[in-house]
Structure 1
Amino acid sequence: MSAPHPEPRWRLLPRSLLGRMLLLTLLVVVLAQGLSSLIWVSQLRASQLQGLQASAASLAHSMSASVSYFRSLPVAYRPMVLDQLRSMGGTRFVVSLNDKPLDMPVLPVTPRKRAVIEVFEQVLHERLGQHMNVSVAFVSPKELRIFNSGLRLDELPRSWAHYSLTLEPLDPPVLVTQIRLGEGEWLYIASLMPEPYTSLEPERLPRQQLGFVVLTSAFLLLFIGLLVHWQSRPLKRLARAARELSLGADVAPASEGGGSEVADVARAFNSMRERISRYLTERSQLFSAISHDLRTPITRLRLRVELLEDEPLQARFGRDLDELELLVKGALQCVKDTDIHENIEPVDLNQALEMLAEPYLGCGSLTLEGRALAPYPGKPLALRRCIGNLIDNAIKYGERAHLRILDSASGFVLQVDDQGPGVPEQRLEEVFEPHVRLAGHQQGYGLGLGIARNIAHSHGGEVSLLNLRQGGLRVTLSLPRTPD
């Protein structure tokens, strides 16, 4: 018997059709909505960049008009005009005249800040002349300086600059432009970018868009789940009917509902059910006839053998008849034990194991470990015969047996360990064949393991063999618990 295969890495994926459909739908929805959102955001940012450049150009034109106005004033009038503007509450710009450019820490240049600075420099040079010394930068309000003395923004009267350069509770960067008007005369202009480009940062995916993605995904998963659940109900009924059919129960025809493909499967199953039922009936009648027809000539031959006067010949005929009768009984027992017509009902496996193990517990040749968590739906006599054969084989060929129960919601597992010589690796599957016995001196037909495996197969389970490293053989009976 080969070593068990390792579980696949995708064992955490849902196994049901509904779970896989919902997972696939969720992945498709997230991928589609993610791609559409990325395209939408990229288009939005491109349009915002165009709007930002247009607003920057408009602001630069207004600023160049103010610079031209100040250049037209006599030098002595310029400070007086600035004082009048401050006393009136200022304008959209904060303007001052300094004898040198103010040195302030500037903010790191981002693509949007660079686009605004390039537009400003281009417009100002076009309107004021290429020879003009122009400096444009973005400064944090906390690092902003206004006059030669290096006053901060929060040190000035609110009527002078706060109206133009603050936007509570936000803290947007301030665009500072310094232009050289003459020797020792620099015009200082500070302003905020107009709405909605005050912060200059690219827009993230809006909450409304995220809510729309979540809402559409939830509705789509809900309707897909209802659809798959509705379409999978006929498949569940068909699986239940197939399991009951494998146990030999009298199964009613499966309903041909659901989609066309499911209906085709149901029709094919019903046709198969009729053929199997007819075959089982004919097989039962055939073996009943064989049993009746063979017993009569065997009995008649025994009577005739007893009339023979040659004792050696009589003994040889007797041995041949004993062998023939043994083969007939073995074949009939095989059919009888594997073709059991019982109703499916909950079987208390704990009680069945205790009854089967009771004759061996007293003498210490058998130990039992673990308990079944719940009754198992199956054929009571067949399951007891299956487990009984495994226990008898372990005691007969291994002298001592240890039974270990491993039960869970997915299936019932019974491990039967003995202390015998084990089975050669090349013959692990051969011992399940009828009339194959490794210990020739032991009595029996060589049918126990084959009958046990057939009964396990009829319940959707399996019987497997494994040689233990410390010696002995482990026989494992696995019975799945199929949910309703």
Structure 2
Amino acid sequence: MNYFRLLFRSLISRMLLLTMLSVIVAQTISSFFWVNQFAESEEKSVLLNANNLAENALSTISFFQDLPLQYRHLVLEQLRDLGGSRFFVSLNSEKININPIPDSPLKNEVLSTVENVLRRRIPEANKLVIEFSHPDDLHVLKNDILLKDLPPSWGAYTLIIPSVKPPILVLQIEMAEQEWLYLAAILPPPYLLSEKSLISAQQVVNLMFTTALLLIFIYLLFYKQTKPLQELAMSVSEMSIDLDQKPLKEQGASEIVAATRAFNRMQQKLQRYIQDREILFRSISHDLKTPITRLRLRAELLDSEEQTESFNHDLDDLEMLVKGALQTVKDTDIHENIQEVDVLKLLEQISSSQPDNIKIIAKKVGLYRGKPLALKRCLANLIDNGVKYGGWVQVYIVDSAESLQIVIQDNGPGIPADELDKIFVPYRRLHDDEYGYGLGLGISRNIIHAHNGQLHLLNRDQGGLEVIITLPRIYKSTLV
């Protein structure tokens, strides 16, 4: 069931499946009504032909009954020579055994019709045998002689139609003791004595051919119509990483054009908002440097060294906040295009500076669509922290069709449980290092969030910290 859902999860595949099922159901229903109507008309024709054939047979039987016994064989020879009857006629000394064709309701109805007509003139005392036989298995004259073995001059050709081989109606009437009148004839078309089928083999071939052509045309049509929708889905997925991508071309159906136009407008508004916010933030942070420098100079002019030192301490804190704000904007808001990133190669570049302290464990890793510089800055920050506080780092990569997971483990002191969520807050620090502002983890998590991923911190049972990064593979087409 899951395989079936995966196979038909796209719009085109579902439309093709729906079209195929619709064609099959429609053709089956129409064929059912057509076959029934056609079969009913054919059955009426068959019964009418059977009634006419029985009337002709009755005339032939009456003619031979009225003939003197010594003239019957003479008349038979004349009939064979002149071809003056639609029946193959013979006078046999025994009843010929007939191998009947399979029974069917129509066959029984035809036999009943012929018998009812013949019994009008033939007394019940006369034995009457009526049956259908296949032409290749029809016995004539004697039980060991087949129709196909007779020479053409005997009139056998009137019962053989090689291309169709219709069943042959055989009538046998006992004229006297050891004297049987044998009549054989083909019913006029249609030859409809077998069970009717809902859909014939030819109809199945036509249905398959028609359905295949229809599916090809529908696929080409919907592929062209869903291509703008596919591009829209891709752009929506990548907008969280690349807000500066080009506006989409408005094309396709009116509904898709409306959705594309709305997306372009939303993206333009977000671009203007982010750009205005960035300019304002950079301007404020930059402009604060000048008054800080002035205040630092004026602090040197104070008479009290204690006040000067206190004043400089406050200015250092303020300057650290300004530098941290500028670094946050610079490191988080990286303007670069989305491209295929070889994450394993990225990690090898990071570990090349400290090969003894960083171990990478990974099998085959596929390319990931993202911003390479941002990902490299994020991973480098996390790995450097692990080496700094734990001495060594192990990096595991687990790749799947749905996500790319990167696990970074170190052997450091870890993070207190009550600080695991607070550590991402800007300027939150657990160590009094000379370098750093307490912004690294927050920036790293923002970069992962920008890729629609998740970053979690866990304390290992055997000691150390474990960083789990999960990056979803949502930037590949799912509409094919």
Aligned twin of 1:30: 24
> What are the equivalent positions in structure 2 for 1:256-295 lying under 5 Å apart?
256-288=250-282, 291=285
The 5-angstrom pairing of residues 166-185 of structure 1 reads 166-168=160-162, 170-185=164-179
Name the amino acid aligned to 2:169.
L
Instruction: Quote the residue 2:453 is aligned against.
Output: 462
1:57 corresponds, among 51, 62, 67, to 51
- Equivalent pair of 1:367/1:401 in contact (CA under 8 Å): yes
Q: 1:366 aligns with which of 351, 359, 372?
A: 359
Is 2:90–2:141's contact at 8 Å kept on the other side of the alignment?
Answer: yes
The answer to whether 1:11 aligns with 2:2 is no
Any idea what SS the aligned residue of 1:359 has? Answer: coil
Which residue is 1:482 aligned to?
A: 476
* Matched residue SS, 2:181: strand
- Please give the alpha-carbon distance, in whole angstroms, between the structure 1 residues aligned to 2:64 and 2:37: 41
String of CA shifts for 1:193-246, please: whole Å, max 9, x gaps.
333417756477567755654555455445434443443343344345445543
1:276, CA displacement in angstroms? Answer: 0.8
* Selected match of 1:386 from 378, 383, 386: 378
Match of 2:394 in 1: 401
* Separation in 2, partners of 1:468, 1:191: 98
Mark the CA change 1:395 to 1:469 in structure 2 (over 3 Å): closer, same or farther.
closer
Check whether the contact 1:86–1:160 (CA below 8 A) recurs between aligned residues. yes
Matches of 1:391 and 1:350, distance apart in 2: 14
Instruction: State the shift of 1:339 in Å.
Output: 2.1
Residues 475 and 268 (structure 1), Cα distance of their counterparts in 2 relative to 1, 3 Å cut: closer
2:360 alignment partner, SS class: strand
CA contact (8 A) 1:125 1:132 kept: no
Superposition deviation, residue 147 in structure 1 = 3.2
- Percent identity between matched residues is 39
Contact 1:422 1:473 in 2 (8 A): no
Which residue in 1 is equivalent to 2:409? 418
Q: RMSD of the alignment, in Å?
A: 4.8
Q: TM-score, normalised by structure 2?
A: 0.76
2-structure distance, mates of 1:225, 1:173:
48
Residues 90 and 159 of structure 1 are in contact (CA less than 8 Å); yes or no, is this contact kept in structure 2?
A: no
Aligned-residue offset at 1:431: 8.2
Who is 1:157 aligned against?
A: 151
Does structure 1 residue 234 correspond to structure 2 residue 228? yes
Task: Give 1:269 shift.
Answer: 1.6
CA shift, 1:280, in A, is 0.8
Give the counterpart letter for 1:284 in structure 2: E
Secondary structure of 1:164's match? helix
Q: 1:202 to 1:355 in 2, by over 3 A?
A: same
Summarize the alignment of residues 70-469 of structure 1 with structure 2, pairs less than 5 Å apart.
70-88=64-82, 91-128=85-122, 133-148=127-142, 150-160=144-154, 162-168=156-162, 170-197=164-191, 200=194, 202=196, 205=199, 209=203, 213-214=207-208, 216-243=210-237, 245-288=239-282, 291=285, 333-344=327-338, 347=341, 349-361=343-355, 363=356, 365-370=358-363, 378-392=370-384, 399-404=392-397, 406=399, 413-416=404-407, 418=409, 434=425, 451-459=443-451, 461-463=452-454
- Compared CA separation, residues 397 and 191, structure 1 to 2 (3 A): farther
For 1:290 and 1:22, how far apart are their aligned partners in 2? 58
288-297 vs 331-340, which deviates more?
288-297
Show the counterpart of 2:41. 47
What does residue 3 of structure 1 align with? none
Whether contact under 8 Å (1:139, 1:176) holds in the other structure is yes
My pick for the range that moved more, 180-189 or 43-52, is 180-189
Name the aligned partner's letter for residue 61 of structure 1: E
Secondary structure in structure 1 of the residue aligned to 2:407: strand
Q: In the superposition, relative to structure 1, how do residues 440 and 138 fare at CA in structure 2: closer, same or farther (>3 Å)?
A: farther
Helix, strand or coil for the counterpart of 1:68?
Answer: helix
SS of 1:179's partner is: strand
Distance 2:405 2:303 in 1: 50
Displacement of 1:382 after TM fit? 0.9
* CA drift at 1:293: 7.6
- Give the Å deviation of 1:152: 3.0
Q: Does the 8 A contact of 1:430 with 1:436 survive in 2? A: no
Name the amino acid aligned to 1:11: L
1:391: how far off?
3.6
- SS in structure 2 of the partner of residue 352 of structure 1: helix
What code does the residue aligned with 1:415 have? I
Unaligned runs of 5+ in 1: 1-5
Whether the 8 Å contact between 1:146 and 1:153 is mirrored in structure 2 is yes
Q: Report if the CA contact (8 A) 1:98-1:187 is conserved.
A: yes
The code of the aligned residue for 1:379 comes to K
- Structure 1 counterpart of 2:447, one-letter code: I
